[in-house]
Amino acid sequence: MTPLAFLGHMAGFVAPAVFMALVLWTVPRFRRAGRAAQGAGLEAFMLVVAGVVVLLAGLVFFGRDGKMATYAALVAVQGTLAWWLHRKR
């Protein structure tokens, strides 16, 4: 496998985690128009890391990528983390 193919596979693997993190990170900011929260970058980073950990756990547990149970766990974990982070404010 070439390095470029490997990067393509890795990008495809983490894409659901990054997409969900961006959605969960940007939507609450539309409600608080204009107010920039401190630590917003850290919050986005935490959401992405939590999502990648869930995807890795699903890969180890099921032995393959792309199971719907893994994606359901991804949404549940990232949604719960986003709720907890916004609840603190």
Q: What is the pTM of this model?
A: 0.85
What's the mean per-residue pLDDT of the chain?
88
7 vs 37, more confident:
7
Q: Look at residue 75 in the predicted model and tell me its pLDDT.
A: 95
Q: Look at residue 88 in the predicted model and tell me its pLDDT.
A: 64
The residue type of 78 is: Q
Task: Looking at 1-89, list the stretches that DSSP marks H as alpha helix, in order from N- to C-terminal side.
Answer: 3-31, 40-62, 68-87
| Contact between residue 85 and residue 29 where contact means Cβ atoms under 8 Å apart | no
Mean pLDDT along residues 27-39: 66
